[in-house]
Structure 1
Amino acid sequence: MTSATTPYGVSLLWTDPLDRRAATAEETYYTADLNLDPIIDILSIENRFRQGIQNLLLRPVIDARVLNYRLDVLEDLLRTPELVSTLEEALSIITVLEGYMVQPQWEQSELRKVAWRLSELENYIVCVDHLNAALTACGGALKSEALCALRDMVAEIAREQIFHDLKAELPEMLERIRGIRSITIGVNLDSQLRPVEATLLSINTTRFTGDMLSFFNRLLGFNGENPTATEGIGPLHKAKSRNAALGEYTVRLPNNDNPLMHPLFKDLADVMDQVCHPIAQALRKFVRVNGRLLVSLQDEIAFYLGAHRLIRHLQDCGLPVCRPEIASQEARVGTLSRLYNLNLALRSAPLYRPRDLQAEIVGNDVNFGDEGRIFILTGPNRGGKTTYTQAIGLAHILMQAGLFVPAASACMSPVDAIFTHFATEERPDLETGRLGEEARRLSDIFAHATRYSLILFNESLASTSAGESLYLARDIVRVVRLLGARAIFATHLHELAADADEINAETEGESKVISLVSMVSVERGADGEIARRTYRIVPSPPMGRSYAREIAVRYGISYDQLRASLQARNQIPNDADASHHPTEENISAD
């Protein structure tokens, strides 16, 4: 039996529809550390889908078959623009269908239940016919297993005899219910013209009308033209709306209303229930027909429409976005070219305001593999270390949700978990202090991490002295090497990066430690040397004192700048030591 004919229908996200029932994912530290909110926002085409999108991003998929199953759907959408319109319209129909599948509040009214069920079946037919026609029209353009299974499922539903019977019999049932437009009530009056008795006279297929002018004309004896059978002699009073948006009305009777009205409405309900009884009997034939299989697709369709919107937005900004190749988990590799931070791109060009970002967003290459799985990343302040670290985490989250990644190309092994350890602000309510909280989080990470995990450290252990921080950080890096995990350790401890070869030599493990540097270029100008950030991350030994020089130049306290200032104030002679600091050999533009 194919997935199209299983009792659980088809899932566009899972090769086995039963996997939808998995537990809801819980928020983790990386939700905030990697700043997932902007990505969740752009993937959520409506706010009601936001929680579902978040659950998918926080539930990383490891199975390569499931990931490719999703990526194939995205490729179908990118290749076939009309398919996007089809799913957008289908989503609107399914939303209406879902509304009719909610148990009505008027269970005691047979009429309302019948009318509700008829509307549900009507929308069910519209949805099946729409999907069947649209997906069939795509023909060979559909390549993904998921959309082909959906096409087969709706085609099978449309071929079933019960569906043909429903399409043939439903219009008449709808007409019998919707054809009831009004009722005629007879009221007997006493000698004081007070209503004392009332009865139902007829059920009509037309609405009554009335106006104030007609009432006064007849009251004064000016009959005018003969009124129609449904034209009242007084104004038409309307019940107050219970839900104006849905056009629903209900009669609200105050306590001092005529007591005849209550039994009259009860009689009306009884009569209407008798009228709809034959229709209720006829509907039993279709008791097994329901739209649950279609409604279950709602969140999944919304997921793909949001993903398609994100891809098109990035392309409109001139940025690369690609389908990642899924490597085996055992390989523990991650090779990406021109990777960029998705959040940075969305801040620079929000949704619906695309602009060319090719000159602004710097892409960097990533290469997790046998030549290095632990990156000690150093560089100047605001040189892109956090941005790069976040970018790698976000790429894995997107890839393991079955989405395209912000890079020119990517080949990635799924990770079993992502752990983040970013620097936090001091919290006075913590008895252990900031260092104690950092230590607690580190302990928790290593209680759960495996060789297949990705661990992202950003300015970890910066809350203690440089000497203590270096000591602790060195041990952390050695343990990650023992574990065999992939990791980035973004830090200002250039001594840690300088010890990479020594750590590899003294610690066994399959994760080699290498040094990465956020490069700066040093230019000579009238004010001496100026260090400029390039935001390029490359394998390189640490820069050492270049960080201090960059900070000094920015704040005007470099040797050259201070010497010039003293000369300008005549505090030292103009020919005082004019030599510059020696230039670091490993400072280069790229």
Structure 2
Amino acid sequence: MQVRLMFRDKLYTPAENPRFGADDVLTDLQLEDVLLTMAGGDRLVYQVAQDVLTHPLTDHDTITYRQQVLQDCLERPEATAELYGLCTKALKTERSVYIGFVRENPSAILSRARTVLNQLVPHLRTLATFAGQEVSQVRSTGLTSLYSGLVQDLDDQFFEDCQAHLRRLAFSDGVIIGRRLGPGNEGVEDLLHPPEKAPLVERMGLPTRTALTYQIPARDEAGGAELSAIQGRGLNQIANATAQAADFLRYFFEALQREIGFYLGAVRLHRQLTGSGQPTCMPALLDEDDDLVRGSELYDPHLPLVGERSVIRNDVPAGARTGIVITGANSGGKSTLLRAIGSAQLMAQAGMFVPARSWSVRTTSRVFTHFAREEDSGMVGGRFFDELKRLSEIIEHTKPGSWILMNETFAGTNEAEAANLGDDLIGALRDSGVPVVLVTHNFDLAGRLVEADPGLLSLRAERLESGQRTFRLLPADPLPTAFGRDIYQRLAPWPYDPAPAADAR
């Protein structure tokens, strides 16, 4: 009975504390709607999805392992939801058992543990029946191992033995505790004995031989307390063992609920995206010396989730070995593509599908985002100061193989200073093995980067001669304009524009 749906050789354990920059990544990439869709109103699924997305895998085997489990879940969504529901129902039953003050009382510990087991064993039987129905329907190693293990371990004999043990643990005829004589003929080493079967004559109600007994008077509080202490010492080991069995069963259902909950969230997201007419695919994994990303019809998953009907999908061609620089017309879809690349990377390294027709990725140890922020309202520092401060904190946490997604970084200073600083910084990051995906309006900066690095892919937002934006990003060198005049003219007339001269008559 091992849960191994997230990792081949270990249990998934959520991180105790969020990683540095995780909140910024989720906010900048607008992944909140992705998480809410996955959760479907379930807080546990939300928390697991958030943790998994912000802790990307780098091991190709583990990513493939999750992809295979997810493929089974996508093919059998009802079974995935049913399995999650079984776990939820079992744990709800367990939590309904009153805990009380049981930590120091072996009798109370035993009583509660036995009650919990009596509550959970029927759910375990239901799970075993479910596993028997599903084991032949799945192909992934994770689900096949889970179901076959349950079928093998939880047979009819197991449940018969469980019920027999639970009946014995009720001690309906009292407990028999033995002792041996110690120094001074003092009784030591309390030992619980199995209950003896009553003689036939006693069961028939006939008189038997007089036993050596002592009846504690009802008002003898000290004697009653000593008797309870003796019983507690005798029950201590079996109470602890029974409590451990109850805890193990609870931990099993909790682990299974967490792990299948992640896949249930992915199934919900997949249903929502494909239901809106968008493609998805399982990404291919590239070697370390290959492109960062490449593929076709990539889109930002946030857009269809918020009801956007005209979702533009973009291709990213081969050639992005060291980074990507995205330039072009204002309001041309640059930031949307940046968010799409970041979202796809996190989803791919979580072992999920990605929002694209086809997609290939090189794995990264961390993804950081550095997007434009509002100016500090506390007036501690200006916008440029804040940009540099956040960028410095990010760089302190990077290591070779990390990615940084930059959106209009260095926009808080003039173009010349931004170009000089950006060229030096991004070049140093590139030399340190930290790829950058940059969106910028700074032609000088973009031009320097493209000219200096043949491994950098340059994409430019398409603009028609009419000034219309297609929101498509195509391979092209940067242009020395962002076509801001188009936006100015689209919003015209302005109240302070000079009125056209009257015709001379």
Report the TM-score range of the alignment, normalised by the length of the smaller protein.
0.7 to 0.9
Name the CA distance, whole Å, in 1 between partners of 2:397 and 2:35. Answer: 26
Pair 1:364-2:300 in alignment: no
Pair 1:295-2:254 in alignment: yes
Pair 1:35-2:30 in alignment: yes
**Deviation, structure 1 residue 118:** 3.3
Residue deviations 1:196-231 (CA, integer Å, cap 9, x gap): xxxxxxxxxxxxxxxxxxxxxxxxxxxxxxxxxxxx
Residue deviations 1:445-502 (CA, integer Å, cap 9, x gap): 3444344222111011111112222222232333344334332211111333344543
Q: Is the 8 A contact 2:299 2:311 kept in 1?
A: yes
Mean Cα displacement is larger for which, 52-61 or 105-114? 105-114
Mean Cα displacement is larger for which, 467-476 or 338-347? 467-476
Q: Is the 8 A contact 2:370 2:406 kept in 1?
A: yes
Pair 1:469-2:418 in alignment: yes
Where 1:20 maps in the other structure, the secondary structure is coil
Residue deviations 1:320-347 (CA, integer Å, cap 9, x gap): 1111122234535312311111122222
Closer, same or farther in 2 for the Cα pair 1:172/1:473, shift >3 Å?
same
Mean Cα displacement is larger for which, 96-105 or 136-145? 96-105
The residue type paired with residue 542 of structure 1 is P
**Deviation, structure 1 residue 557:** 6.9
Partner residue of 2:489 out of 542, 546, 553: 553
**Deviation, structure 1 residue 550:** 1.2
Correspondence list, 1:565-584, <5 A: 566=500, 570=502
Residue deviations 1:508-530 (CA, integer Å, cap 9, x gap): xxx7223211112233xxxxxxx
Name the CA distance, whole Å, in 2 between partners of 1:441 and 1:69. Answer: 36
Q: Is the 8 A contact 1:376 1:490 kept in 2?
A: yes
Closer, same or farther in 2 for the Cα pair 1:471/1:71, shift >3 Å?
same
Q: So what's the TM-score if we normalise by structure 1?
A: 0.67
Where 1:485 maps in the other structure, the secondary structure is coil
Closer, same or farther in 2 for the Cα pair 1:371/1:454, shift >3 Å?
closer
**Deviation, structure 1 residue 536:** 0.6
Match of 1:44 in 2: 39
The residue type paired with residue 491 of structure 2 is Y
Pair 1:321-2:280 in alignment: yes
Match of 1:13 in 2: 6
**Deviation, structure 1 residue 18:** 5.0
Residue deviations 1:31-64 (CA, integer Å, cap 9, x gap): 3322332222222241244333322222111111
Name the CA distance, whole Å, in 1 between partners of 2:229 and 2:84. Answer: 38
Match of 1:87 in 2: 83
Residue deviations 1:536-585 (CA, integer Å, cap 9, x gap): 11111334446133123213379xxx89x625xx1x679xxxxxxxxxxx
Q: Is the 8 A contact 2:103 2:109 kept in 1?
A: yes
Pair 1:145-2:141 in alignment: yes
Q: Which has the larger radius of gyration?
A: 1
Match of 2:177 in 1: none
Gaps of 5+ in 1: 178-262, 264-268, 350-356, 505-510, 524-530, 575-590
**Deviation, structure 1 residue 19:** 5.7
Closer, same or farther in 2 for the Cα pair 1:555/1:370, shift >3 Å?
closer
**Deviation, structure 1 residue 154:** 1.6
Root mean square deviation, CA, Å = 3.9
Where 1:297 maps in the other structure, the secondary structure is helix
The residue type paired with residue 35 of structure 1 is Q
Name the CA distance, whole Å, in 1 between partners of 2:82 and 2:226. Answer: 44
Q: Is the 8 A contact 1:332 1:486 kept in 2?
A: no
Match of 1:514 in 2: 457
Q: So what's the TM-score if we normalise by structure 2?
A: 0.77
Q: Larger relative CO (CA 8 A, sep 6+): 1 or 2?
A: 2
Mean Cα displacement is larger for which, 122-131 or 143-152? 122-131
Match of 2:298 in 1: 339
Name the CA distance, whole Å, in 2 between partners of 1:501 and 1:288. Answer: 62
Amino-acid identity (%):
27
**Deviation, structure 1 residue 311:** 0.7
Closer, same or farther in 2 for the Cα pair 1:573/1:419, shift >3 Å?
farther
Where 1:140 maps in the other structure, the secondary structure is coil
